[in-house]
Structure 1
Amino acid sequence: MMNLRNMVQGLESDAVALELIAHWEHDQGTLKFWRASSTFVYAFKHKRKTYFLRFAFGQETPLEQIEAELEFMQYLRQHGFPCVIPLPSVNGRLIESVQLPQGRYYGAVFNKADGVPLYEVDELPCEAWGRSLASLHALSQTYEPAGGKRRSWREALLFAETVLHRHPHENEAMAELARVRAWLESMPASEEAYGLIHYDFQTDNVFWREKTRQLSVIDFDDSMYHWFAMDIAAALADQLEDENPEGEAQLQAFVRGYRSVRPLDEAMLQAFPRFRRFAELYSFARLLASLENSELEEAPEWLDGLKAELRQYCDEMRQSFAKPW
């Protein structure tokens, strides 16, 4: 989640989106707001096909990180992994930028994924879902970026530490940070277990094509260097939290599919709850940062409701930090 003040400024009058979309061929009058979370996303049409403009505020998402993300996506696609890809602008660039009074924004355009998101599928194809993530990890094992690298879990925890220092009353979160960091630093980072992961391989970012029974993946903007098991634990967050027979069956089917492509050590499987602790802590820090300096004299109607929702999430996460390690 981006800072809420930045969100309001970036959405105002759709000014940023309108300036950026001018760099890509598009059908006039089709640009529409889609969503805003860690980035801004607008849908538009070109020759009746749907595309997505995604942009980020440069102070929150550096250009080098976007370049590294797009390079990884292109590598995956070139090696047969079905994911969306960035499309060049009329200037032949994958990333365009615009400067506004509040700062610089970086934008990219992606094709629409084929199929429907997994959360709309009546019966989750969990084995195919697991195979897809394993295939991504197999390609990640041999990936050597030509340009800059994506951030790692170390930078993510450093970000969390920086945020928490601005909130010295968050004692339990600071204690959790120390536990998570010490645990991850003790973990072996072999080529088989560690690499560049998607980090958000959940049902809203994975699309299912029933006719071909294949998956297509979007949204690599949270990708980072981490243990591959973190990717699985993040993907199966709902199944790990829902302690019921259906969730357990889905988890086991996902793991079967994953193991049909590449090995998954039993110790890593048992470590899923601790990887979830990393994810909770990192999300908590991002939400705290998003709420900072978010009091605006002239605010849109939706802002107060969103702030209340994010504060509630923070309260729930604080309770999780007190759980036994």
Structure 2
Amino acid sequence: MLKLKYLFNNVNLAEMLLENWDYDDESIDMFQYYRISSNAIYPFQSRGKTQFLRFSPKSEKCKENVLAELEFISYLRSKHYGVLEIVVSKNGEELIEVQTPWGEYYASVFKRVSGVQMNETELSDNVIFSYGKALGKLHQLSSDYVPVKNKRWSYSDVLDWMRETLTDFPHEKSALLETNVLQDYFDSIPITKRNFGLVHYDFEYDNVFYDEESQSCNVIDFDDVMYHWYVMDIEQTLDSLQDCIPTEMFQVKKQCFLDGYYTEYDISDDMLSLLPACRRFANLYGYVRILRSVEEKWENEPEWLESLREKLIKAMKNKSTCFGMKI
């Protein structure tokens, strides 16, 4: 998540960055549907087709990670996997670096994928099966993937980043303890080509689109890709599904999802024992990102920012309930 100071709508900045790509002038009105979280996303059209401008301050991103993300997306497309398409700039670049009055920024553009978000479907057994199948296929392709130029960071790098970030918050002793607990636990887990590789990390229902015509899924938002055990994706996905599936139906839908997954990739039952630890990792990572984001505070903050801050602090409390406990 970006620091809160970067969450303000900045149409002038978006227009300045978009000049590096072809676009339909009248489609700038679509900027009103922007959203900002880990990146700023502004929709527009080029030759009548919807595309998305994505940008973030250079201080918030690691260039090698961004380039590695784009390289992985290109690899998946080369294997005919349902994934978003990168649009090169007028200068033929997938990622541009721009000096602006608001600082230095990275920016990219992606085409809109077909289909509707998973939570906008009826979440029938066929849809859930396809959802699981899409994740299994992603892991199968990931297991054969070898980066050409740039390598994405790993879960261990993320733990190091969290540990370093927490040095600015000496009172966060329980979060630091949780970082060490997770490091020790994951250090004891064998890494093989079959169980470990690049994971999407955010394979949640709002990042996966179901195409009724092809009865398949298209995936977006690879911003959080990292090297991890593949069960990390399974945990994140199943956790998100609980938000939109009635409790009494969840176990049936969970099995339907796993059945779809197993048609494309086989993961051993003992690996599923990592699910609780993966949840702990996700909670800690979310906690530290929020902690860093909300650190700065200003007088006379707008109401939406005050409300967001309260929501985020509540989320931090929920994520920290297991900190330091034995896994």
Deviation, 1:52, is 0.4
Match of 2:203 in 1: 201
TM-score norm. by structure 1 comes to: 0.93
Partners of 1:173 and 1:243 lie apart in 2 by 32
Deviation, 1:324, is 5.8
Deviation, 1:239, is 4.7
Match of 1:266 in 2: 269
Deviation, 1:122, is 1.1
Match of 1:27 in 2: 24
CA change 1:192–1:130 in 2 (3 A) is same
Residue 84 (str. 1) matches residue 84 (str. 2)? yes
Partners of 1:270 and 1:183 lie apart in 2 by 12
Deviation, 1:258, is 1.1
Deviation, 1:281, is 0.5
Cα pair 2:284 2:320 within 8 Å, conserved: no
Residue 145 (str. 1) matches residue 142 (str. 2)? no
Cα pair 1:94 1:108 within 8 Å, conserved: yes
Matches within 5 A, 1:104-115: 104-115=104-115
CA change 1:101–1:292 in 2 (3 A) is farther
Match of 1:43 in 2: 43
Partners of 1:19 and 1:228 lie apart in 2 by 39
CA change 1:274–1:243 in 2 (3 A) is farther
Deviation, 1:87, is 0.5
For residue 277 of structure 1, the aligned residue among 280, 297, 302 is: 280
Matched residues, percent identical? 35
| Structure 1 residue ranges, 4+ long, deviating more than 6 angstroms after superposition | 240-243
Match of 1:15 in 2: 12
Deviates more, 1:296-305 or 1:257-266: 296-305
Deviates more, 1:23-32 or 1:186-195: 23-32
State the AA in 1 paired with 2:196: Y
Match of 2:259 in 1: 256
Residue 174 (str. 1) matches residue 176 (str. 2)? yes
Could you list the runs of 5+ residues in structure 2 that have no partner in the other structure? none
State the AA in 1 paired with 2:288: A
Partners of 1:238 and 1:106 lie apart in 2 by 29
Partners of 2:246 and 2:213 lie apart in 1 by 32
Deviates more, 1:94-103 or 1:129-138: 94-103
Could you list the runs of 5+ residues in structure 1 that have no partner in the other structure? none
State the AA in 2 paired with 1:248: Q
CA change 1:243–1:182 in 2 (3 A) is farther
Match of 1:127 in 2: 129
Partners of 2:137 and 2:306 lie apart in 1 by 42
| CA deviations over 1:211-237 (Å, ceiling 9, x no partner) | 220110000000001111111111111
SS of structure 1 residue aligned to 2:320: helix
Partners of 2:85 and 2:227 lie apart in 1 by 20
Partners of 1:94 and 1:297 lie apart in 2 by 39
State the AA in 2 paired with 1:109: V
Cα pair 1:20 1:97 within 8 Å, conserved: no
| CA deviations over 1:129-182 (Å, ceiling 9, x no partner) | 111111111111111111111111011111211222222222222222111111
Cα pair 1:160 1:282 within 8 Å, conserved: yes
Cα pair 1:70 1:85 within 8 Å, conserved: no
State the AA in 2 paired with 1:19: M
Partners of 1:75 and 1:188 lie apart in 2 by 26
Cα pair 1:34 1:43 within 8 Å, conserved: yes
RMSD across aligned positions (CA): 1.8
Cα pair 1:163 1:288 within 8 Å, conserved: no
Partners of 1:321 and 1:224 lie apart in 2 by 22
Deviates more, 1:92-101 or 1:125-134: 92-101
Deviation, 1:238, is 3.4
SS of structure 2 residue aligned to 1:59: helix
State the AA in 2 paired with 1:289: R
SS of structure 1 residue aligned to 2:94: coil
Partners of 2:241 and 2:171 lie apart in 1 by 32
Partners of 1:185 and 1:178 lie apart in 2 by 10
Match of 2:193 in 1: 191
Partners of 2:57 and 2:250 lie apart in 1 by 37
Partners of 1:210 and 1:58 lie apart in 2 by 38
| CA deviations over 1:235-261 (Å, ceiling 9, x no partner) | 111357889331111111111111111
TM-score norm. by structure 2 comes to: 0.93
Match of 2:75 in 1: 75
Partners of 1:270 and 1:145 lie apart in 2 by 29
CA change 1:324–1:255 in 2 (3 A) is same
Aligned residues: 321
Match of 1:53 in 2: 53
Cα pair 1:198 1:224 within 8 Å, conserved: yes
Cα pair 2:45 2:51 within 8 Å, conserved: yes
Cα pair 2:44 2:52 within 8 Å, conserved: yes
